Amino acid sequence: MKQWKRTLCLVPAACGMVLVGYPNGNLSANQSANVPSAVNSATTASANTVMTLGIDNGSPDFTENFNPFSPNLRSGTYFIYETLYAINAQNGTQTPWLASSFKWNGTKQLTFTIRKGIKWNDGKTFSSSDVAFTFNLLKKYPALDTSSVWSVLSSVAAPNATTVVFKFKTAAIPIFTYICNTPIVPEHIWKNVSNPVTYTNTNPVGTGAFKLSSYTNTQYVLTKNTGYWKASKVVATQLIFPVLTGNDTSDLNLASGKYTWANLFVPNIEKTYVDRDKADNHYWFAPGGPSNLVMNLTKAPFNNAVFRQAMEYAINKQEVSAKGEYGYQPPANATGLMLPGQQSWLNPSLKNAYAYNPKKAAQLLASIGYKKNSKGQLVNKSGKPVAFTITVPGDYTDWIQSCKVIAQNLAQLGITLNLQTPSDTGWYNQLQTGDYDMSLTYGVNYNNPWFYYDSVLSSANTAPIGKAASSNFERWKNLATDKLLTEFEQTTSPTVQHKVINQLQETMIKQVPLIPLFYNANWNEYSTADFVGWPDASNPYATPDFLFNDNELIMTHLKLAH
């Protein structure tokens, strides 16, 4: 893996964070909340300006930690600290935030202009020196540099109060996203922190719309920062975060209106939530990067591109989505692009590539010497029945069901697919070391398709069998692919970037290095009883998953319903 790129984390316990679209039963946001009675007395503000958020997992504990760089931070942290730009993960739209503009000077220098008039919530003035300090803090304490920006940065400096200059060792244009996603902290506070890696920051000072007002072992409350530089755009006065405990009360709390906004997995969402109040109860499970079917390309028959093409035709993605993923996670396009948000990148001729067609799959298999024997088994040229194993964690109930659908699809061709369900750690180790036949994994999604293709196709992200790959678990190694990925890294030209992505799409279609199955869902339920203007499929201005940029966009976009 190229050192400056963010490693794709597949195990929440290892990351200390929630990944959107994590399988049912293993996503911390799926934990439901037992809303304490304190919710009703936590505020003196008008009820219709208060939000209760069902998002913050209390297991195994509810430690007070608002360090924006910590893997164990509270979700409310993302409402306190801000970033240079807000980037819409759905389509890559860039909105100036703490910075008013940016400019590339060639490919090795990036300059941001910092807004004037912004203050920290303790009244101190925010300036470019805070930005430079933040990034140099990451350099001094590499454990904080989770995106490895300093593997390509050579310096970050603030020549004046409104300018920050980033200089690079090598061209790395996509790093713009990582820079923009970095929370900015106040120099006057953090310069005195002895160990920012373990610092829990119980008195958080940020530039954001909210600040911490109270904290207990059952809930915490954020109140509106009246000195916020966009305060006139923020209508919520308080955010209440009750501890999330167990699944048993999730449906009741959500359906009874105790949450204004939640990130919960809820079976049969229409019946258990929407039908309780059709006027105000809504959900939008914004699509994220695709979950992928990966095949070990170092093994036969997966080392044959025609066989892989047959697998793509043989799998009924619509059925996988409906039966395995409750219909919440729609079938993914074969290119891997996240649609509809990345529609502008899609080669129109590939929109319907690999529509389910078992007959076509059988023809492709026959063309490379496979046929059915008298028992209806698909056999290779040597007469050996085709059988392999698909491996997914034992507690990912939706993935297990999806695998059963895939097994049924392949059985029509005479292929036997066995299911193996190890522990989370065992599964991940098998992926890393290449000790598997077939499995399911996640794709990443940021603001353009390069991030997905780089994670799953770059040879820098794989490793020989027995060694730990970081995200290219299928072991795709191709010089032409690597050249395209590097070309994208080294250009700021939209024309060249689109040309590169188009060629990578063609690689996905012709070579089928992996099979995108369905788009991971961002679990998201919300009420319009008090607040309107939430992002949805008709207006996907943000992804409602409590990431920094999304919170900035959403909280300044909502309006009071009455």
SS (H, E, C) 262-308: ECCCCCCHHHHCHHHCCCCEEECCEEEEEEEEEECCCCCCCCCHHHH
Task: Give the separation between CA 414 and CA 236, rounded to whole angstroms.
Answer: 58
Map residue 498 onto helix, strand or coil.
helix
The Cβ of residue 222 has, within 10 Å, a number of other Cβ atoms equal to 28
Task: Give the separation between CA 316 and CA 529, rounded to whole angstroms.
Answer: 39
Task: Give the separation between CA 58 and CA 36, rounded to whole angstroms.
Answer: 13
The Cβ of residue 242 has, within 10 Å, a number of other Cβ atoms equal to 26
96, 115, 241: which is closest to 180 by C-alpha? 96
Task: Give the separation between CA 504 and CA 488, rounded to whole angstroms.
Answer: 11
Question: Which CATH architecture best describes the domain 31-79+208-285+523-562?
Answer: 3-Layer(aba) Sandwich (3.40)
The verdict on domain 81-205 having CATH code 3.90.76.10 is yes
pLDDT at 29: 33
* Rama region for 402: left / alpha / beta (φ>0; ψ in -120 to 50; rest): alpha
pLDDT at 369: 96
pLDDT in tens, the chain (562 residues): 333 443 333 333 233 333 333 344 333 333 333 333 334 434 444 558 999 999 888 766 889 999 999 989 999 999 999 999 999 888 889 999 999 999 999 999 999 999 999 999 999 999 999 999 999 999 999 999 988 999 999 999 999 999 999 999 999 999 999 999 999 999 999 999 999 999 999 999 999 999 999 999 989 999 999 999 999 999 999 999 998 876 556 667 888 889 999 998 888 899 989 999 999 999 999 998 999 999 999 999 999 999 999 999 999 999 999 999 999 999 999 999 999 999 999 999 998 999 999 999 999 999 999 999 999 999 999 999 999 999 999 989 999 999 999 999 999 999 999 999 999 999 999 999 999 999 999 878 777 899 999 999 999 999 999 999 999 999 999 999 999 999 999 999 999 999 999 999 999 999 999 999 999 999 999 999 999 999 999 999 999 987 767 888 999 999 999 8
Tell me the two tokens of residue 392.
Answer: 């997914």
Task: Give the separation between CA 177 and CA 73, rounded to whole angstroms.
Answer: 21
Task: Give the separation between CA 335 and CA 348, rounded to whole angstroms.
Answer: 11
pLDDT at 150: 97
Burial degree of 538 (CB within 10 A; 0-12, 13-18, 19+)? exposed
pLDDT at 41: 37
Task: Give the separation between CA 80 and CA 63, rounded to whole angstroms.
Answer: 17
Task: Give the separation between CA 296 and CA 303, rounded to whole angstroms.
Answer: 8
Cis peptide before 36 (omega within 30 of 0): no
pLDDT at 229: 97
What CATH class does 290-519 carry? alpha beta
What letter represents residue 368's amino acid? I
pLDDT at 68: 95
Task: Give the separation between CA 315 and CA 313, rounded to whole angstroms.
Answer: 6
Task: Give the separation between CA 439 and CA 295, rounded to whole angstroms.
Answer: 7
Contact 482, 460 (CB under 8 A): yes
Strand segments (E) across 169-218: 210-215
Query: What is the residue extent of each domain of the chain?
Result: 31-79+208-285+523-562, 81-205, 290-519
Q: Which residues contact 317 (CB under 8 A, 6 or more apart)?
A: 331, 332, 356, 517, 518
Antiparallel, parallel or unpaired: β 371-372 and 286-295: unpaired
Helix (H) or strand (E) holding 405: helix 397-411
pLDDT at 255: 81
22, 28, 75, 90: which is closest to 543 by C-alpha? 90
* Rama region for 223: left / alpha / beta (φ>0; ψ in -120 to 50; rest): beta
Q: What is the DSSP letter of 322?
A: I
Find the length of the chain: 562
The Cβ of residue 5 has, within 10 Å, a number of other Cβ atoms equal to 25
Q: What is the DSSP letter of 321?
A: I
Antiparallel, parallel or unpaired: β 387-391 and 416-420: parallel
Task: Give the separation between CA 529 and CA 14, rounded to whole angstroms.
Answer: 38
CA 331 to chain centre: 17
Contact 2, 458 (CB under 8 A): yes
Strand segments (E) across 342-420: 371-372, 378-379, 387-391, 416-420
Contact 508, 334 (CB under 8 A): yes
Contact 253, 34 (CB under 8 A): yes
